[in-house]
Structures are given as C-alpha cells and as structure tokens.
Amino acid sequence: QVQLVESGGGLVQAGGSLRLSCAVSGGTFSSYAMGWFRQAPGKEREFVGSIGGSGRSRLYGDSVKGRFTISRDNAENTVYLQMTSLKPEDTGVYYCAARSGAVVSTVTRYAYWGQGTQVTVSS
C-alpha cells in the first residue's frame, strides 16, 4: 500500500518562502509521477505542479510558474515543493499525490494521496 505524508506547512508572511516535503512509502517511488495540489476553502482542488519519476519532466500550474519549484530525491523517497514569493492567494491545504505514468495536471488521474498540510500566507 502506498502512503504519502506531507510536512512543512505553516504560517508565513507574503513575500516569504516555505518548503513542503512529502515522504512516500510502499511501491516503487521512482516509478511514480508525483504531483502537488492545493485547495482553498470553498474552492476546487487546484493543480500546482508535477514531476516525473526520473525528475527530468516537470509541469507547473500557471499561477505558480516562476515562484514554485518541484524536486525529488529518489534515494529518500521524498518529493519537495519549494515555494517563494508567496502571496495570500497561495493559502490552502497542500496535498501531494502519486500516479504511475507521465506527469499530468488532472486531479482524478492520481491514485494515491496524502492527508494534506496547511499553508497560510498573511498579507
């Protein structure tokens, strides 16, 4: 069974930075494309970015391009989301997700999900 556990969320001022981590157990980590999504209260879950199994392929949502960076360490079974120049609209619960295959942005194409970590950006 594949399990994902996010960490690193918290409260940060606008313009600040934060790094989220997602530790994965079970399965073959390097075979999974890993995605980050976020959900604000009353809104649908939004694609943030995704990284392929080897780390060579990356895809980002338009709202975070140039500010967020996804990376992974296959030796540590961990994927990271480095967030910079944070804005209040980045506030939400951030989820990591895993799927077999290529990077995609569609929520429903990810099979495994973590429990989420709260990120709050104050103005």
Summarize pLDDT for 44-91 with one digit per residue, the tens: 999 999 999 999 999 999 999 999 999 999 999 999 999 999 999 999
Three-class HEC string of the chain: CCEEEEECCEEEECCCCEEEEEEEECCCHHHEEEEEEEECCCCCCEEEEEECCCCCCEEECCCCCCCEEEEEECCCCEEEEEECCCCHHHCEEEEEEEEECCCCCCHHHCCEECCCEEEEEEC
Q: What percent of the chain clears pLDDT 70, i.e. is strictly above it?
A: 100
Q: How confident is the model at residue 100 (pLDDT cuts 50, 70, 90)?
A: very high
